[in-house]
Amino acid sequence: MTRSKVEFANSQGQNLAGLLELPSQDKPYAMALFAHCFTCGKDIAAASRIGRALVKHGVGVLRFDFTGLGNSDGDFGNTNFSSNIEDLLTAGEFLKEHYEAPRMIIGHSLGGAAVLAAAQRMPSVEAVATIGAPATAHHVQHLFDSKADEIRESGEAEVTLAGRKFNVKSQMLDDLVQWNTPDHIGNLRKALIIFHSPVDQVVDINEAATIYQAAKHPKSFISLDNADHLLSSAVDAEYVADMLVAWSSRYL
């Protein structure tokens, strides 16, 4: 496996930091784009483990930090769900220009909700996968409830998310309201697979049911049994990768 750091500019001209992993000898039979979970980063264990496992199966993977997170430029306070979608589209264009257009797109948690929206605008993508994903961006609204009034009144407020402090602006709340229905999932027109654990304590299994019901065929669901939301166990991450390769071989 070869691994290289890459950078590309988002729609605002800010540099996004990515990691491109490719099979060391043979050309990858497909390129995949991976979107990490909310406030996480490209180097979270689940993303890195799934990426490495996919590369072993001959799939090239680009994972990157969304604007304002990890090693990417920008202010998280100026981002929202729509900007995450734009970041994914930019990443897809980067792959198309410098390597090969992505044929598979994978999203973990809120990243899964983002790929469900972004994939419709990516003609090269044939297969879409979500892992522990909510059906809509509105699912994370509750994280801001305690500060919602202050955000609305002052235009922004400091919010603690996953143990870290972020400045969140009212545009974030407005954007979440705009993405509060799963109606767009029915327009996906891509093969879809949904991975979700029935004991996920962060995103309820009912969200997977909502995605499945909103999507049109071909669609598949795989239970992750006792896996936690972040796929902390390497066995769970590798299982997702193995199933992804087997499933996607029918569509790629």
Closest-CA residue to 133 (of 83, 170, 185, 98): 185
pLDDT tens-digit readout, 141-154: 777 777 778 878 88
Residue with tokens 């919010």: 159
Look up residue 184 and give its two tokens. Answer: 């767009």
Largest CA distance in the chain: 56
The per-residue pLDDT for 37 is: 85
Local confidence band at 161 (pLDDT 50, 70, 90 cut-offs): low
Residue bearing the bigger pLDDT, 74 or 32:
32
Highest mean pLDDT, choosing among 27-31, 91-95, 164-168, 247-251? 91-95
Q: Mean pLDDT across the stretch 127-152?
A: 84
The per-residue pLDDT for 162 is: 57
Q: Mean pLDDT across the stretch 178-193?
A: 92
Query: What percent of the chain shows pLDDT beyond 70?
Result: 98
CA gap 187, 225 in Å, rounded: 29
Q: How many helices (H) and strands (E) does the chain have?
A: 7, 10
The per-residue pLDDT for 235 is: 94
Cβ contact 67:79 at 8 Å:
yes
Cβ contact 191:173 at 8 Å:
no
